[in-house]
């Protein structure tokens, strides 16, 4: 019986893959057999080193999603059949103090760039009659409101909605669109929360698993949704949150 979780012969693009979740996902996809194109604003040298030292295949690509159209021309004739939309930023301030610049910066990277990158990916697949997988990185804040992150919350609600809309449009055309919703994971984006003793304690008390997640906890979910094992999974948002939403 063939291994339906294998990604041998597949080629993936992972955005924001120089650190954190993106790095772990890129390493996980490579370990499952995919050739991984690591896209990031800064050179993903560490990620490439981790993959190649483990015997995997990877390449780097400079993309800054502050320009939401940054990826519009990168898919043509590249053979990419897995797209992981991980690139994202966060800005924190009370809602009454939140600036238009902070709003636009987050929405451009986290939502607008995600949509137009996915659009470009799908156009290439549909034009060539090829199958593909899209894995969006959503969030617990796709379901909850959070505190002091209005644009991030709005964007991640949007990611959940777009995941379902695109699944509805493309499921019958051979493109699976799903999302992973990480919980509280040890990344740069959560450094401020972990450094706040009160918030850190409150968060841990709410997580049934009684620990912060690690980036590699998310990688397995991304590998699954990228694989043939998930061929009949469309429009799903898979929570990887230590049980937070079940609490």
Q: Block means of pLDDT (10 residues each) for the chain, length 247 residues?
A: 89 97 98 98 96 97 97 97 97 97 98 98 98 98 96 98 98 98 91 91 95 96 98 98 96
In a domain, 194, yes or no: no
In a domain, 193, yes or no: no
> Residue 82 in contact with residue 9, Cβ under 8 Å?
no
Collapse the DSSP code of 12 into the 3-class scheme (helix H, G, I; strand E, B; otherwise coil) and give the result: strand
The torsion angles phi and psi of 42, rounded to 5 degrees, stand at -105, 150
In a domain, 6, yes or no: no
The pLDDT of residue 210 is 95
Burial of 31 (0-12, 13-18, 19+ CB in 10 A): middle
Go through 33-46 and write b for each residue having 16 or more CB atoms within 10 A of its CB, e for each that does not: bbbbbbbbbeebee
56 vs 58: CA distance, rounded Å: 7
The pLDDT of residue 1 is 44
**Structural domain total, the chain:** 1
Active site residue 184: no
DSSP 75: -
Among residues 65, 121, 152, 184, the one annotated as catalytic is: 152
Residue-range definition of the domain harbouring residue 181:
11-187+215-238
Query: Tokens 């597949």, residue?
Result: 10
The torsion angles phi and psi of 11, rounded to 5 degrees, stand at -130, 125
In a domain, 192, yes or no: no
Query: Tokens 């959070």, residue?
Result: 146
Residue 40's H or E segment, with its range, is: strand 35-40
47 vs 228: CA distance, rounded Å: 25
> Residue 120 in contact with residue 168, Cβ under 8 Å?
no
In a domain, 247, yes or no: no
CATH of residue 142's domain is: 3.40.50.720
> Residue 70 in contact with residue 60, Cβ under 8 Å?
no
Other CB atoms within 10 Å distance of the CB of residue 87: 26
Query: Tokens 């339906």, residue?
Result: 4
213 vs 96: CA distance, rounded Å: 31
In a domain, 81, yes or no: yes
The pLDDT of residue 27 is 98
């Amino acid at each position: 019986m063939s291994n339906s979780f294998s990604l041998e012969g597949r080629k993936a693009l992972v955005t924001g893959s120089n650190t954190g979740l993106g790095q772990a996902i890129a390493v996980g996809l490579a370990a499952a057999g995919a050739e991984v194109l690591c896209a990031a604003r800064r050179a993903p040298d560490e990620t490439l080193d981790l993959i190649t030292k483990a015997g995997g295949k990877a390449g780097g690509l400079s993309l800054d999603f502050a320009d939401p159209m940054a990826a519009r021309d990168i898919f043509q004739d590249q053979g990419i059949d897995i797209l992981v939309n991980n690139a994202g930023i966060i800005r924190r301030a009370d809602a009454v103090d939140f600036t238009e610049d902070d709003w636009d910066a987050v929405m451009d990277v986290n939502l607008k760039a995600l949509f137009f990158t996915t659009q470009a990916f799908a156009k290439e697949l549909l034009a060539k009659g090829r199958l593909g997988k899209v894995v969006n990185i959503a969030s617990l804040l796709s379901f909850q409101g959070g505190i002091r992150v209005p644009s991030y919350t709005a964007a991640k609600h949007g990611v959940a909605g777009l995941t379902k809309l695109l699944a509805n449009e493309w499921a019958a055309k051979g493109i699976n669109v799903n999302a992973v919703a990480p919980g509280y994971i040890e990344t740069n984006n959560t450094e401020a929360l972990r450094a706040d003793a009160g918030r850190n304690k409150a968060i841990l008390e709410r997580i049934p698993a009684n620990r912060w997640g690690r980036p590699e906890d998310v990688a397995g979910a991304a590998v699954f949704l990228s694989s043939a094992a998930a061929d009949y999974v469309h429009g799903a948002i898979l929570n990887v949150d230590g049980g937070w939403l079940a609490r």
